[in-house]
Chains A and B, each alone.
Chain A
C-alpha cells in the first residue's frame, strides 16, 4: 500500500494480495514486520522499470515458487518465534533480528539469479572481486550486529534498531546488486576471451601440423629437388586452401570436385598443374562423369605430355566446358592401338554415355582435350534461367 511491496510480493509468490496485506499489517504491529517491509521495499525491483536482470519476469522465472516457500517459510517462522520471544525476554532480540534480515536478503538475492549465474556463483573459484565484496558485506553486517548488541535498551531502542537494520541493509545491497551486474559482464568477457583463445590455438595447431612439418621435411630432403618442389607445392596448396577457403560447403560442387581431382593428379605424378575455374554448379550425375573423364585426361597429360599442364573449367548455368592442355609432342587418336582404352573409353566414351562430348585436338605444341556437357544442372537448387 505504501510502496507497493505487498503487491510485488504477491505477484512474485502468487499469494493473494488481500491476505498478504492483512498479514503485513498484523506483523507490523509486532515490530518485526517493519524491518522486513523496509528491506523488501529497498531491494525489490520496481515493476514499471525493466528489472535489473532480464530473466526476472514471470515467463522466464527460474525459481519454482514452491522451493522459495520451502526455504522462506521456515526462516520466517523461526524468525517470527525468535522475535516474539525476544520481545518478552529483551536479551535475544538484538541477535535474532539482524540474522533474520541477512538470511532473508540472501534468499532474495539467490532467488533472483538465473541458473547460469547460480552456477557461476557456486563455482566462483578464485574470483578476487567476489571475495572482496563478500568481505565488505560481512563487515558491514557485523558492524550492524555490534551496533545492535551494544544497545542498552530504553525508549531510544526502536530508532537505534532501525539504524542498525539500515546498516545491515547497506551490507546486503553491496553484496547483491553490483555482484549481479558484474556477473553479466564477466560472463560476456569470458565468452569473448574463450573464442579468441580457441581461434589462436586453432591457428597455432594448424601451422604446426602443416607448415612446420613440411619445413622439417624439406630440410631433411634438401638434396632431392624434385621432392622439395613437390612438398613445397603441396604445402602451398594446402595453406592457400585454408587461408582463402570460401564459407560454402566445399564437397558438393563441380568446381571443388575438379579442384580435388587436379590436386590428386598433381600429387600423384609430381607435375604442377595450373588450374583455373570459373562459375560453379552442384555436382550431379553427369558432373561426376565429367570429373572422372577430366581426371583421366589430366593423368594422360602429365604422363605423356610435357609441362606446363593447364586446366580450365567453365561451369555455366546451361553447359559445362573443361579444357586440359599440355605442351608435349602430341598424338594422333588413330595411331593409338585399339586395346588402349584410356582415351577412347575413359574420356570419349564416358562423356558420350552421359550426354556430353569429348574432343582431342592436336596442336603445334601439345595436345588439348576438350570436354563438354550440355544441359542445366539437375539439382533443384540451381534456379532456372530463361534467357542467356
Chain B
C-alpha cells in the first residue's frame, strides 16, 4: 500500500531532505511551510498521514497543534481520518505533550533513520501509534511509573497499567514492536493495542504533570 503524505515544515531544506529519503511506498502529495498553508494543503489533498513539524510559524502561535486543530474531523477518500505524525528536533516535554494532546498519533525526532521513518508513516497511516524511545521515557515519567505508580484497573486514565509500563520500558530501551512482543511473549498486535491505549491516556488524562505543561502553553 502506498501512503499519501503531506510534509509540513518551515525549513525547505529539511522538506527536500525528507522527500529524498522516503522510498516508493510513500508518495508526497503536498508541502507547506506554515500553519495556514498547511491547513489549506491538507484540506485539499486529504492525505493518509501528515508529517508535522512541532514548531511552525502562523496560526495562533501553537505551531503543529494549530494545524491538527484546524484539520479536525478531516477524512481521506477512503473514509479513514487524516492522521498526524509529529516530527521535531525538540526534546522539550511540553512540546511533546502539546502535539500529542492535540491529536497526533506519534512523535519521532528528526534524527530518525529513513527506514524507521517510513515504517512509522505506515504504522500511523494504519491507525497505530508510534512512540520513539524518548517519548516512551517521557510517558513513564509523566505518569509516575518510574516512582512505582501503577494503575489498579486498566481503564484508569491517570496511571499506566503494569503491562503498559512494561511495553513503555522496552520501547524506551530501544526495542522495536516485534522485539517487545517477543520479549513479553505477546503478539505484535497486542503491543500495538497497549501503545494505542497509552496514547489515549496521554490525550485524555488530567494528570497534574500533563495538564500543567499544557497550561503553560495555553492549550486548555
Contact = CB atoms under 8 A, between A and B. Distances in A.
B91 interface: yes
Given A240-B91, A244-B91, A244-B92, A388 B147 contact: yes
Contacts of A39: none
A277 B92 contact: no
Interface string B158-184: 000000000001001110000000000
- Say whether chain B's binding surface is mostly helix, strand, loop, or mixed: loop
A312 B148 contact: no
Nearest to A240: B91
A314 interface: yes
B146 interface: yes
Contact of A310 (B133, B147, B149): B133
Interface in A305-340: 308, 310, 312, 314-318, 323, 325
Nearest to B93: A244
A312 B146 contact: no
Nearest to A326: B174
B140 interface: yes
Given A310-B173, A310-B174, A314-B140, A278 B146 contact: yes
Contacts of A315: 146
Given A316-B146, A317-B148, A388-B148, A276 B172 contact: yes
A16 B92 CA distance: 68
B99 to A, nearest CB: 16
B56 interface: no
B175 to A, nearest CB: 8
A312 B146 CA distance: 12
B133 A312 contact: yes
A323 B172 CA distance: 10
B148 A276 contact: no
A274 interface: yes
Contact of A312 (B138, B149, B172): B172
Given A315-B146, A317-B147, A325 B174 contact: yes
Contacts of B173: 276, 310, 312, 323, 325, 368
Interface string A204-217: 00000000000000
Interface residues of A, number: 22
Contact of B141 (A272, A278, A385): A278
Contacts of A279: 140-141, 146-147
Contacts of B172: 276, 278, 312, 314
Interface string B62-91: 000000000000000000000000000111
A314 B174 contact: no
A86 B208 CA distance: 82
Contacts of A276: 133-134, 136-137, 172-173
A310 B171 CA distance: 11
Interface of A: 236, 240, 244, 272, 274, 276-279, 308, 310, 312, 314-318, 323, 325, 368, 385, 388
15 contacts: A240-B91, A244-B90, A244-B91, A244-B92, A276-B133, A278-B138, A278-B140, A278-B172, A310-B173, A314-B146, A314-B169, A316-B146, A317-B147, A318-B148, A388-B148
Given A274-B133, A278-B140, 7 more contacts: A236-B89, A277-B137, A278-B146, A310-B173, A314-B146, A317-B147, A385-B148
Nearest 10 CB-CB pairings of A with B: A310-B174, A279-B146, A388-B148, A276-B137, A312-B173, A278-B146, A278-B140, A278-B141, A323-B173, A276-B172
